Chains A and B, each alone.
Chain A
Amino acid sequence: MTSASIFLQIIFNGIMLGIQYSLVAVGFSLFFGVLDVINFAHGDIFMLGAFVSLILINVTGMLTASGATYVFLLILVIILSMIIVGGLGVFFERIVVKPVSKGPTLMSLVATLGLGIAIREAVRLFYPRGSETKRFPELLVKLFPGKEAIEFKGIILRYDNLLILAVGVIVVILLALYINKTKMGLTIRAVAQDAEAASMMGVNKNLIIDVTFFIGSALAALAGFMNGLYYNSIIFDMGAMAGIVGFSAAVIGGLGNIYGAIVGGFLFAMVESLSAALIPKGSEYMTVIAFAVVILFLIFRPSGILGERAYERV
């Protein structure tokens, strides 16, 4: 491997992680926009996404199928897991997040924290042998027998990683179009900017909140599915770290700004994968370095990269 190809490999790994982090971070930003809450249960929604898609893979029996049926079932699994987890997200929003969001912001933080603990423990207790690491199957290898991965300019690309890349890019583009070009997207932006004024203009605020939680949770579920595919293993407490990283990414980008969340997610992932590769013993310290970069960023951009600058002066 030449040094250039090593560098390319690092960048590619960073993009893989970046897509996952961004999809989680977008949820944080969306929820903060419409409801002014930090939803700390979001990491566990991400974990639910991984488990639900694993269950669906087993239930549909897609691993025994082949050819066009296989592709169809794969797409079905991805979409169905997003819909199921999105629905669960709306359910949790109705019973927990919205009732507590009327109180002070910090109350909702603790309530969603408790919700996250409950979800995590529920999976541990009620999923068969839930406290063990579960194997997540490799999916696309089955379609291309004989070859594990393709090589491109000296870097090794697994098929599953290409799937992550493709799905990630498609979803991000669709999300941007949805937020910017549709009427629903417009109303979401309106509620995020000023919920009271928006409801005076006839916007059904509760509906928008439901829609937002559906989208955010579905995206987190997709990220969970990707994470399972990337590491080929899932565990009930994988959501704790993902939630923290997602929150960090959303804050670096500027809370409430969706593009900011995406930029923040990629930044965090790039710093992690670069420091894991370039610094000796880097893989142990990579999260330390990423958090140090977070602090530095916030010193120079106190309200995030794309956040609104608050001008307050006496």
Chain B
Amino acid sequence: MKKENKFLDCIKIILVEVVAFFLFLFFLKVESIWTVIVAILLVALIYFLSKIYKEKFQALLEPFSKYQNFAIGVLFILLVLYPIISPLMIVHSTYWTLILIQTGIYIMIALGLNFQLGSTGMMNLATAAFYGIGAYTAGLLALKLGWSALITIPLAGLAAAFAGLLLVIPIYKTKGHYLALVTLAFGFMLVLAADNIEIIGGPQGLKNIPPVNIFGYSFLTNIGGLHFYTNYYYLVLALLGITILVFARLFNSWVGLTSAYIRDDELAAKGCGINTNFRKLIVFVVGNFFMGVAGALYAHMIGFISPPNFQFAQSLLIVAIVIIGGMDNILGVIIASILLVVFPEKLRVVTEYRIFLYGILLVVTLILRPRGILPFGPRKYDSSILKFARKGGS
């Protein structure tokens, strides 16, 4: 009886995810303003249905939280199959593959910021600058020294992490809006400096950065008739998988727990003997590392970077992703990235009014859901930890 139930649940998960996946594909592939309208109406419909039929909706969602790993596995398989399925539906589809890769890169940066802002409460308004440090490091190493992407990508992450260490004194001394201003100023300084330093290309930026080449396999080859973006798609998917794994583990570890403590009440955390300043520094550095890695991926894939790619507006986009995602919520960050990166591309149909609608969309989303799409709830621990806690308490 129980086994059958599990089997049914799994079927349910697969069904829901496959339907959602194909709906998403249709949304991407059909070039018409109607897809956007239909999508908005559909989301609104689901939202209202979930309010009316609360219990049925809960029942539908329950298997997802019960068999979380299975649900993630199914989603992962669907994403792996994407490059093979998508050409079957519509032939020329490289553009949307590129957009999905971009989304993946943005999710990586946003997860880095989520660790700083969502988990620890440190505002960082220089995300685009750290992302840019990664991109420039990888670009310069590959261009001037001819190093392989296998080395440049981790080094780019390290460079961004160490650049964060430059702000050690402000991190120790300021907080809240004042720290936000320090990072904002830092980001501005870096972009303006990059614009004026000739060795790194000045306003022209870096051109012809070599593509990723791992053990003689160039990422420019077309595998089985698929466009070469497919290579990057898999690379980004793999690195994104690792990033999500790292941050999920961090969230559930004592690092995540102490971070949440610092965010909620720094004074109390200090009182409990947590070295808050040192913790904040570590969180800052780790978050920046992933931004740098994302920047390196971007540099190798596009092959051209220049200062305007890393301006304040980009940082704000990433902050918006984390906040709309609900702060300290990995799934929320992913959904918000799709919303804020893929959706504007769909709005390209309305060319002129694109950014205008984007602004209004941001405002409306926050008025309707003032705590983000998936607000952070209390932490869930399984029974083994609770048992342990009770034992420790007695």
Contacts and interface: CB of A to CB of B under 8 A. Distances in A.
B178 A303 contact: yes
Contacts of A117: 355-356, 358-359, 362
Contact of A121 (B169, B324, B359): B359
A114 B363 contact: yes
A110 B117 CA distance: 14
B370 A107 contact: yes
A247 interface: yes
B363 A96 contact: yes
A288 interface: yes
B361 A114 contact: yes
Interface in B171-187: 173-175, 177-178, 181-182, 184-186
Given A104-B371, A288-B188, A302 B320 contact: no
Given A117-B355, A121-B359, A251 B177 contact: yes
Contacts of A35: none
A177 interface: no
B177 A255 contact: yes
6 contacts: A110-B319, A110-B324, A111-B367, A284-B196, A288-B189, A303-B174
B352 interface: yes
B185 A115 contact: no
Nearest to B320: A110
Interface in B184-199: 184-186, 188-189, 192-193, 195-196
B30 interface: no
A298 B177 CA distance: 11
B267 A312 contact: yes
Given A38-B177, A299-B173, A111 B362 contact: yes
Nearest to A115: B363
Given A107-B371, A110-B319, A114-B360, A287 B196 contact: no
Given A104-B371, A294-B182, 15 more contacts: A110-B362, A113-B320, A114-B320, A114-B366, A115-B363, A121-B355, A244-B188, A285-B196, A287-B188, A291-B185, A292-B185, A298-B174, A302-B173, A302-B178, A312-B267
B358 to A, nearest CB: 7
A304 interface: yes
A169 interface: no
Interface in B341-394: 352-353, 355-356, 358-363, 366-367, 370-372
Q: Which of B169, B361, B367, B372 has the most CB atoms of chain A within a 10 A radius of its CB?
A: B367
A106 B325 CA distance: 12
A160 B81 CA distance: 66
B225 interface: no
Contact of A113 (B123, B186, B362): B362
Interface string A82-123: 000000000000001001101110110111011111111110
Given A103-B370, A125-B353, A303-B178, A295 B185 contact: yes
Interface string B205-235: 0000000000000000000000000000000
- SS of A interface (majority): helix
B128 interface: no
Contacts of A102: 370
A119 B353 CA distance: 12
Contacts of B186: 291, 295
A contact residues, range = 35 or more
A252 B181 CA distance: 9
A103 B371 contact: yes
B178 to A, nearest CB: 6
Nearest to B272: A314
Nearest to B183: A295
A106 B370 contact: no
Interface string A1-17: 00000000000000000
Q: Which of A99, A100, A122, A314 has the most CB atoms of chain B within a 10 A radius of its CB?
A: A314
A106 B177 CA distance: 10
Given A104-B371, A284-B196, A303-B178, A314 B267 contact: yes
Interface of B: 117, 123, 169-170, 173-175, 177-178, 181-182, 184-186, 188-189, 192-193, 195-196, 266-267, 270-271, 312-313, 316, 319-320, 323-324, 327, 352-353, 355-356, 358-363, 366-367, 370-372
A111 B196 contact: no
Given A291-B185, A314-B270, A116 B359 contact: yes
A255 B176 CA distance: 11
A248 interface: yes
Contacts of A251: 177-178, 181
Interface of A: 38, 96, 99-100, 102-104, 106-107, 109-111, 113-122, 125, 240, 244, 247-248, 251-252, 255, 281, 284-285, 287-288, 291-292, 294-295, 298-299, 302-304, 312, 314
A314 B262 CA distance: 14
A116 B360 CA distance: 9
B327 to A, nearest CB: 8
Nearest to B370: A103
A103 B323 CA distance: 11
Contact of A244 (B184, B267, B323): B184
B169 A299 contact: yes
B323 A295 contact: no
A125 B360 CA distance: 14
A282 B389 CA distance: 61
List the 10 closest A-B pairs by CB distance, nearest first: A114-B362, A117-B359, A118-B359, A291-B185, A103-B370, A121-B356, A111-B366, A114-B363, A314-B270, A251-B181
Contacts of B363: 96, 111, 114-115, 118
Contact of B366 (A110, A248, A299): A110
Nearest to B185: A291
Contacts of A38: 177
A292 B189 contact: yes
A177 B324 CA distance: 41
B170 A299 contact: yes
Contacts of B195: 284
Nearest to A254: B178
Contacts of B327: 104, 106
Nearest to A121: B356
A291 B188 CA distance: 8
A118 B356 contact: yes
A96 B189 contact: no
Given A100-B366, A103-B371, A295-B185, A114 B178 contact: no
